[in-house]
Amino acid sequence: MADKTAVKSALRAQRIETPSWGYANSGTRFKVFGQPGVPRTPEEKIADAATVHRFTGVAPSVALHIPWDQVADFGALARYARDLGVEIGAINTNVFQDEDYKLGSVTNPDPAIRRKATDHLLEAIGIMDATGSRDLKLWFSDGLNYPGQDDLRDRQDRLAEALREAYDRLGDGRRMLLEYKLFEPAFYATDIPDWGTAYAHCVELGPKATVCIDTGHHAPGTNIEFIVAFLLRAGKLGAFDFNSRFYADDDLMAGAADPFQLFRIMYEIVRGDGLGESSGIRFMLDQCHNIERKIPATIRSVMNVQEATAKALLVDRDALRAAQREGNVLEANAVLMDAYNTDVRPLLAEVRAEAGLDENPVAAYHRSGYQQKIEAERVGGRQAGWGA
Ligand code: LRH
Ligand code: MN
Ligand code: MN
C-alpha cells in the first residue's frame, strides 16, 4: 500500500504552470469566439493566472508567449506577477506568425530569414534574463507541404545551427525546452516531427537542452508513457505541455479526452522520480478554451492533472513489482487498475482543506465574484494571437 502521508505531501508539493494564452480569446481556423471579461493586456492574463493559483494552490507560475505578451519592461512585469503571488515561467517563442516564415523560420532556405528567426530566439533569452525565467521553450512550425519543396537534410543542418546559437547564449541555470509536433501547419514533413528528432538535437546541444512533450502532438494511438519513460531514463525529459486531443492538436482541457492516458503518463513520472521540483521537469498546460469559460476551465484542468497524479501515487509499487517479477500478467494489470479506479477526490479535498483552500476550487471560483468583476471591468478582450 502506498503511504497516505507521503502521497499527500507529494500532492501538496506538485506545481502546474498555466499558459497566458489560455486566458485570452481563442478559436479554430473557422472562428474566434469572443468571451466577456477576457484579458486585454499581459498584466490581466497574469491576474487570471494568479486567480487560478489562489483557488488551486498548485499553479504558482504562468508561461509567456512572445510577442503575444510583449511589454516594454519585462522586469516590471515579473514584479507585478510576484506581487500577485505568481512567477513568470517558461518563455515561449513565436516564429510562426510572420509572412517571412511561410517557407520556414530557422530552417528557411533564405539566410536573412533564418537570421531574423534566430534573433527572435535570442530576444526571448534576453526576456528570460529580465523575468528570471529558467526555461526557453521552442516550437517551430517549420516543415514542408510537398515532396521536393526543400532539402530535408539541409533543413536539419540549418535547425542545428540556430539551436546552437541560442543554446550558447543561455545563461547559468537556464534551459532550453525543445518541443516536437508531427503535423500542422506543415503536412508532408515537419522539421521536428517526433521525440526522437528533438532528443537527438538535445543530446547534440548539451545538458541544458531537454525535450518538451506536448500531449496533443502525436499520431493517434502513440504510447506517450513510453516516451516519458525513455526520456526520463535518459535524463532528457524537460517539460510537458498538457492538453487533450480527440483528433489532432485539439488543445482541449487536460484529462478531458483520455484521463487514463494522463494517469499512465503520471505513473511513469512517479516511477521515474520525476514529480518533485528537484527533477527539474516542468508540468505546464498548453490549451485554449474556445467555448467554455477560461478560468474555471483552467482550474478544472489543474484538478484533472492532480487527480491523475494522485492515482499514480497510489499505485502499490511493491505489489506491482512482485507481480511483474513473477510474470503474473493479470495481477500486475490489476494493481495498476486498482489505483486508476480509486476515487481520489476525497483525498484531494483533504489536501486542499489542510492547505487552507476550498475543497472544491471550481465552486469556490464561481462564488468568489471574480468572473462578474472581470466581465464588468474589462471591455474589448484580446485574442490570444491565432485564428483571426
Ligand atoms: C504548437 C504549440 C506550441 C505553441 C503553442 C501555442 O502547436 O503547442 O507549444 O507555442 O502551441
Ligand atoms: Mn505546445
Ligand atoms: Mn500544440
- pLDDT, tens digit, for every residue of 36-60? 999 999 999 999 999 999 999 999 9
Q: How far does the centroid of ligand 2 lie from the alpha carbon of residue 347, in Å?
A: 30
pLDDT for 28 beyond 90:
no
The cell for 295 is 478560468
Handedness of CA 321, 16, 87, 237 (dihedral sign): positive
How many angstroms separate the CA atoms of 118 and 95, rounded?
9
- In the chain, what are the domain boundaries? 4-377
Ligand 1 atom at minimal distance to the Cα of residue 214: 8
H or E, element range at 214: strand 209-214
Count of H-run helices and E-run strands, the chain: 14, 12
Provide the residues around ligand 2 (an ion) whose CB is within 5 A: 214, 241, 286
Contact 74, 131 (CB under 8 A): yes
Q: How far does the centroid of ligand 3 lie from the alpha carbon of residue 378, in Å?
A: 28
Is the preceding omega at residue 67 within 30 degrees of 0, hence cis? yes
Q: How far does the centroid of ligand 1 lie from the alpha carbon of residue 14, in Å?
A: 23
Residue nearest to atom 2 of ligand 1 (CA): 139
Closest listed residue to residue 285, CA positions, set 308, 264, 260, 315: 308
The cell for 269 is 513520472
pLDDT for 2 beyond 90:
no
- Ligand 1 site residues, Cβ closer than 6 angstroms: 92, 139, 179, 181, 214, 241, 249, 286
The bridge status of strand 209-214 relative to strand 175-179 is: parallel
Contact 21, 384 (CB under 8 A): yes
Superfamily of 4-377 according to CATH: Divalent-metal-dependent TIM barrel enzymes (3.20.20.150)
Q: How far does the centroid of ligand 1 lie from the alpha carbon of residue 286, in Å?
A: 7
Residue nearest to atom 7 of ligand 1 (CA): 249
- pLDDT, tens digit, for every residue of 131-184? 999 999 999 999 999 999 999 999 999 999 999 999 999 999 999 999 999 999
Quote the pLDDT of residue 60. 98
Q: How confident is the model at residue 381 (pLDDT cuts 50, 70, 90)?
A: low
Ligand 1 atom at minimal distance to the Cα of residue 21: 6
Contact 384, 48 (CB under 8 A): no
Q: How far does the centroid of ligand 1 lie from the alpha carbon of residue 18, in Å?
A: 13
Handedness of CA 248, 250, 253, 257 (dihedral sign): negative
Quote the pLDDT of residue 387. 37
